[in-house]
Structure 1
Amino acid sequence: MQEVKKIDINKVNDIIEKAKRENRSILDVAESKDILKACGITVNKFGVARSSEDARQLANEIGCPVVMKIVSTDPKLLHKTDMGGVAVGIATPEEAAQTFDDMTARIMRAGITRASMEGIMVEEMVEGVEIIIGTTIDPTFGPLIMTGLGGIFVEVLKDVSFRVVPITEYDAREMLDEIKAKKILEGVRGKPPVNKDAIVKSLLLISELIMNVSWEQDDKAKQQLPIIREIDINPLFATEKEVIAVDCRVILTSESNEA
């Protein structure tokens, strides 16, 4: 496996500092994806539409079919699908424009104000095996990193593996070997195996990110903890050539969300 590139920690800190100045602990999906890009993790093509005409133009530039997702830091929209904030398989730019209007109206009927919505993301559709990479903070062990099958599988099967951060390449490969459904990564029913090296690199980059962001004293936990409380990359699509992140959520440590 090639050497893992260093992350652009200055870019990451700029994104985090902006959120802190705005008194936000939840980064929107565009900011979260920008953090992944600063880590060297590939993300799918995307743009944020703030009008139906924006949506039309972005769909045309990215190329249909596209996916559209609401962009908001409102805690009610952390699970966008449940709130009707995700639409897939948008076939034409005209359909993208109509979807913008329909989704905005639906979200507002659910009690979300227009002021709390950054816009609607229009993004490239990607296929592959769905993987999840996440981090959390354990009250005893501190920051942990997790991986397993992503998408709905993580909720149904809970087939995941954890390690204490930081991890080594050996740790990352061992995590993949611990997944009960690891044969899916090796190729089933005529499908090629995924690029495990690319998943390993992504795990190492996220581990490096957690270790290199600012750490702050948590009086409740009586220890230093990273400013990033939680990362949820789901799904990370894995193919035989690469991995591409299509959705990500980053939550910062703050008094309002400490357990």
Structure 2
Amino acid sequence: MTKNSMIFTIMASVLAAPLFAQEGVLDDAKVVSLPDWRYDDLYSNGVSARNLFDRDVYGRTGDEIGDVEDILIGPDGQVKSIVAEVGGFWDIGDTHVSIPIDQVDTSDGRITVPVTEDSVGDYGFWNNEPVQTGAVESEIVEGVDDRAIPRAWRASELIGDYARLRDGNAYGDYGYVSDLILRDNKVAAVVVQPRAGYGPGYRAYPYYGYPYGWNAGSPYYDMPYTEDDIRDAEPFDYDRFE
């Protein structure tokens, strides 16, 4: 994705930025106390969004018909659909489709969907129109990224963004978002790779979306925590996924 590649070409150090109109939002919204935050449910029931990217997608006949390109998530953090590139198997040209999550079967350890050559047109993003290859890979997807917020957003819009911590009346650079953990078809946690000064490995934190002032498309993911809050955060161990 374009944004993910751009992260390596931007300066690693981000100047602290003033708080936007979030103070009242954060006061009213529930912030999880990190001493009470546990990874156990993430390890046992979580799914890595990043690990879903590029996974093969199969039709109900067992044929491989494409691969996962992205995940479409609603304003409430609920997974709405997977975005897949299909078409090569049917010689109709590579096409992006949005498959509702309740039609996606992962019970056999692989991703199976009901899309067929005849039904491709039923799985468009909006208005039953498939999106041609190239549109999803651009910065703006018509009908998705240009909708008035709060809006549906792609997992790749948040993965690769700068993660920042509260620092008085500003936000300071902490690292960048490397993954989203999904549980029960909802975003449960944001995985951050902190910059070197915070130690090696990854950290997983509760997801804070629109009610907390975050906007899809922003290059920053601002967390309601300070350096003192995250000081004792334990590394997130991908090897413990069950």
TM-score by length of 1: 0.27
Structure holding more helix per residue: 1
TM-score by length of 2: 0.28
